[in-house]
Every structure is written in C-alpha cells, then in structure tokens.
Amino acid sequence: MSTEKTFYLETFGCQMNAHDSEKVIGTLQQEGYRQVETELEAGLILYNTCSIRDKAEQKVFNRLNDYKKLHKAGKRFGVLGCVAQQEGEKIFDRAPYVSLVSGSASYRKLPEMLSRLESGESRITGLDDRQTDETFETEFTARQNPFRGYITIIEGCDKFCSYCVVPYTRGKERSRGSSSVLAEARRIADQGYTEIQLLGQNVNSYRDPEGKSSFAELLDAVGRIDGIRRVRFTTSHPRDFTRDIVQAIDANPALCDHVHLPVQSGSSRVLKMMAREYTRDWYLERISWIKAAKRPISLSTDIIVGFPGETAEDFIETMDLLQEVQYDCVFGFKYSARPNTPALTMIDSIPEGEKGSRLQVLLDRQREIQRTNYSKQIGQSLEVMVENQNPARGQIAGRSSQNKPVNFTNPQPIAPAPGSYVKVKITGAFPNSLVGEAV
Ligand code: SAH
Ligand code: SF4
Ligand code: F3S
C-alpha cells in the first residue's frame, strides 16, 4: 500500500477564498502532500467553503454527501473556510465522516492540525472567536494564476452589515504589516509576475500595523516595484474610500483604471437598514471624485435586491443610481437570509418571485448601459495583457487596464505570449467584452 500523502482541494466563494486556497495548497505541499485532480485519487479531501448566500452553503453539503461513501475506503474529509467557521462542530453531526473543520482565521495552525489528522484524530477544529490578531502569511503560496499574483493585505471584517456573515466567518479586521506586503510583492515580481492584486474584504480599510503607510501609499509603493506593470485592489468599502486613492491612481500609471465600489442599494432608507453607514449622497460623492480623475477609471459594484422592507420606490432609487453612475459591471444578488445576522430577525416580506423579477429588471437595464459604455471604446487603442490564445479561432484573449475582456486577432506572424502586453485597436463591442486587432 502506498504511504504517499495526497489531497484534493475544491474552492468555493470569493477571491479571498481562492487565494487562501493557494496558501493552503502551498502549506500542504510543504508538509509532504501531493495535490491530485479528483476525490477518488486523494487520501484527504478538502472543501474550502463559502456561506455568503444560501445556495453557496448548500453546494458544499451536497458535495460532501455525494462523496461520503469514500470514507469507507479510508479517505479523510476536511471542511475549511466560511461554512466551517459558521457551522463549527455542528458539521461533525451533519457529516460525521468529516475529521477537520477550520475557518480561515486558524490556517496558521494547519501544519499542527494536519499532524493530528495523520495520527488518527477525528474531530479536529480550528475555530476563531473573533479574537485572533494573526494573519495567514506563508512563503509557500502555490500560485495558480501565472500572471496575476494575489496578495492579502487585510483579513476579516468589523463592519457588521446587517445581512452579512463575513464578520462571523472571517474574524476581526486585521491588517498585515506594509514591509511584509512589499516583501511579498517584490518576491513575486522577481518571479516574473507583472500584475498584482491586493485583496481584502474591505481592502481600503487597511491600517498598517507598522504605521508606515496609508492604503493609498501602499498602492503606490506596490506600483513602483521594478517589473510591476499593473496593480489592482478589491473590494473597496465606500465608508473608507478616501480621495487620496484617486490621486494615487492619477499619479501612478501602474495602478489600474478600475475601482470596484459596492453600493448594495440606491436608497438611503435601505442602506440604513443594511447598516452600511453611508447614504446615497455620500456614496455618490465618492463616485464624483472617481469620475473627476484624469484617468478614465472604470466603475463596478455589487447590489442586493429584495432586502427586507425594500419597497418598489426603494428599488426605483437603485435603478436611478445605476443610470446615474453608468457602471461597467454590476454583480446583482437576491437578498438571502443568513444565520447569526441581524437582518434575519427583520421580516423578509418580499416573495422570491418579486426578488427575481427586480433582479432581472436590474440586470436587463445594466446590460443596456454596458452596451453603450463598451461601444464608446470602439476606435481606441488599449493596452491588453494577454491571458490565453485560441489558435483554432485565431483569437487571443486578455484584459484592459479597466479589467474589460478583450478578444483580438493578431496580424503578425508570431502570436504574443500569454503574460505579454499588446496594444490593441478596438473595432467592436459587446455588453461584456471588446474585440479588436493588435497594432
Ligand atoms: N466587503 C464587501 C463585500 C463582500 S461580500 C463590501 O462590503 O462591499 C460580496 C457581496 O455579496 C456583497 O457586496 C453583497 O452584495 C453580497 N452579499 C453579502 N451578503 C449577502 C446576503 N445575505 N444576501 C445577498 N447578497 C449578499
Ligand atoms: Fe459583509 Fe459588510 Fe463586511 Fe462587506 S463590509 S464583508 S458586506 S459585513
Ligand atoms: Fe464566501 Fe466567505 Fe468569501 S462567505 S464570499 S468565501 S468571505
């Protein structure tokens, strides 16, 4: 019998989770584990989970259920991430074949938890009570994207929006020292990365524990590292969105022309019930700073429809805001009641069907806005970072600084390599992508 240690890891949820998985994979490899492609091949099966909306969580339990018979064949199961932190030891009751349950705030203890697992323990937990100040930093990150390097600069959340699980699943807000962030950025630039994306649930709530740099200064410093051509950051919270972020983008060409600024609702009344701690006007003031920039900064957002008590008038205010801001991309969600959250006790009076039709109205309107926005770029020359090629169709795909997908043809005999930067003349537009030709 083989004694090789193998693992399978599947990731659900946001970019923070995806990047945590890169660090978890690196840590497991360091502990002598080899990653395999399927549950069937693995000795240890891990799910890095999300619980932001109801379906996200259900997916994980369905997956655990699908594979539970593998437990009889001696395989071990672990649940990581937000469902793990949220449900805690209850997971052992619902899925008794699970041996490890750990939230993201406990990943520093992974090596120790793994050795307990190897010695046969079956109910290992890494659960945090919003106490930890630790951040998960490792030099063993197994980066899955060859061009875009992710770096977490702030973990957790202290905002407690009334609908959201994140403050309960990711622990309290804690930032990483700027020297450590810059050291990691330099290290991956030396490895050949030209694009860096700084991550945090509220990335711009960053507070340097070393007291050296503000968020805007950190952005600028990352953009000044030799070899770094693009810096992105997500997600920004309107509350902490300061003018110096726009000034930094204007001053430093390496900072990308894109800000993702979730609004959630266009109605101040709903924003208040959501405990977002800003009003429609406050939000629009930040948008006006961004629009006044010298650079053409693209805007995207998240919106929740059907929050408890959202009236038809409130929803119209959200539609008006959409019209006013003219986003390039909107992630729209139907409100989903979540465990532990204050909104759970509000009367969720809007029928699912009504939530669905509000979402559809919103997305249809947004599609038209994007059709107009994207077509305005026809005739421009944009710098595109090549991501992949489809030789069959002679098409090359990449992204502009504004994060718009660009599909282009290349008249030169040699196709540009993935990871390289190409000037592309835009000749056509769809609501979600641009087309063009390399110049
Ligand atoms: N920290 C970021 C967002 C993190 S969660 C911010 O505050 O903007 C990502 C998105 O999921 C949120 O912006 C919100 O639009 C959506 N979301 C969070 N909780 C939700 C819920 N209970 N129901 C529906 N959508 C939700
Ligand atoms: Fe959730 Fe609000 Fe924190 Fe964003 S700021 S993660 S929506 S609690
Ligand atoms: Fe989901 Fe947790 Fe991210 S709930 S969206 S994986 S922070």
Confidence tier at 150 by pLDDT (50, 70, 90)? very high
Distance, CA 170 to ligand 3 centroid (Å)?
A: 8
pLDDT digits (tens, 9 = 90+) for 33-53: 999 999 999 999 999 999 999
pLDDT range class, residue 348, cuts 50, 70, 90: confident
Fill in the DSSP letter of residue 331.
Answer: E
Nearest CA residue ID for atom 13, ligand 1:
302
Please tell me the residue having the least CA distance from ligand 3 atom 3: 14
Rounded Cα gap, residues 232 and 194, in angstroms: 11
Under the banding of pLDDT at 50, 70 and 90, the label for residue 2 is low
Is residue 56's pLDDT more than 90?
no
For residues 175 and 330, give the distance between their C-alpha atoms in angstroms, rounded to a whole number.
28
Which residue minimizes the CA distance to atom 4 of ligand 2? 201
DSSP 255: B
Mutate to test the pocket of ligand 2, among 52, 53, 157 (most ligand atoms within 8 A of CB): 157
Question: Confidence class of residue 413 from pLDDT cuts 50, 70 and 90?
Answer: confident
Question: End-to-end alpha-carbon separation of the chain, Å?
Answer: 58
Query: Matching CATH topology for 5-126 and 145-256?
Result: no
CA nearest ligand 1 atom 12, residue: 302
Query: Which residue is associated with the tokens 């090629």?
Result: 389
Give the mean model confidence (pLDDT) for residues 305-324: 98
Residue 115 burial (CB count, 10 A): 12
Among 3.30.300.20, 3.30.70.980, 3.30.750.210, 3.40.50.920, what is the CATH number of 145-256? 3.30.750.210
Q: Model pTM?
A: 0.96
Cα gap 95→45, rounded to integer Å? 13
Residue 436: CB partners within 8 Å, gap ≥ 6?
Answer: 382, 406, 407, 408, 409, 424, 425, 426, 427, 428
Query: How many residues can be counted in the chain?
Result: 439
Q: What is the mean pLDDT of the chain?
A: 96
Contact assessment for residue 403 and residue 434, using Cβ atoms and an 8 Å cutoff: no
Q: How far is the CA of 201 from the centre of ligand 3 (A)?
A: 9
Q: Assess if CATH 2.40.50.140 describes domain 381-438.
A: yes
What is the position in ligand 2's atom list of the atom closest to the CA of 264? 7
Closest CA to 21 of 130, 132, 138: 138
Q: What CATH number matches the domain at 5-126, 3.30.360.10, 3.30.413.10, 3.30.497.10, 3.40.50.12160?
A: 3.40.50.12160
Domain boundaries, the chain: 5-126, 145-256, 289-374, 381-438
Contact 128, 136 (CB under 8 A): no
Q: Distance from CA of residue 281 to its chain's centroid?
A: 26
Cα dist from 241 to 116, 189, 381, whole Å:
43, 27, 30
Q: Give the residue carrying structure tokens 């504004």.
A: 402
Cα–Cα distance measured from residue 397 to residue 316, given in angstroms and rounded to the nearest whole number: 37
3-state secondary structure of 295: coil
Strand order in the sheet with 298-305: 258-260, 298-305, 329-334
Asked if residue 1 has pLDDT above 60, the reply is no
Is residue 395 pLDDT above 60, yes or no?
A: yes
**Yes or no: domain 289-374 corresponds to CATH 2.40.170.20:** no
Residues with CB under 6 A from ligand 2: 157, 159-161, 164, 166-167, 201-202, 237
Task: Tell me, in angstroms, the distance from the centre of ligand 3 to residue 51's CA.
Answer: 6
C-beta separation of 233 from 196 below 8 A:
no
**pLDDT over 90 (residue 55):** no
